[in-house]
Amino acid sequence: ACYNGDPLEYYMEVITLLLNTWLGYKENRTEDALRCLKQQASDYDVNGTARRREDIKILMSHLSALQNSNTNNPALNETMNYFIHVELWNGATLVLDKHPIIVKTMDLDTKIMACFLSTVGRCCRLTTMWELICNEQDLLKGV
């Protein structure tokens, strides 16, 4: 689908689908695996337009931002928003796993918090869920 002259919008959908599946495996969510993926992507010359190369470069730069341990990094919000925009859901949960404190900056409505925590419970590490609950003590008020 990527190289048969299909429109550019399908190209990113295919890449996102493949990357989403790849990130679904726990062993692919480590810093070493992400570094290896970035190296493979930079070595691979994308057939076609400069826009395709730029799309891959942007995607890889957001994945690379997760290797930065600085939790005050404003790029984390940008990375989370980008992953949500391109519907890279396993990328979004990877952001949460690496930097759970980002939830404080997301301004989630209390009404959707149960659904959000359910998703985090299914897709993230147990320690991520623990940190989220510890950081959202107001949710436990009156329990």
Nearest-angstrom CA–CA distance, 107 and 29: 26
Residues 6+ apart with CB under 8 A from 73: 65
Are residues 66 and 98 in contact, defined by beta-carbon separation less than 8 angstroms? yes
Reported pTM = 0.78
| pLDDT for 133 | 86
- pLDDT at residue 73, as a whole number: 64
Tokens of 132: 């989220």
pLDDT for residue 1:
44
Nearest Cα neighbor of 58 from 73, 70, 46, 71 is 46
Q: Report the pLDDT value the prediction gives residue 46, as an integer from 0 to 100.
A: 53
Q: Which residues of the chain have pLDDT under 70?
A: 1-9, 42-52, 68-74, 139-143
Q: Could you say which DSSP state residue 71 is in?
A: T
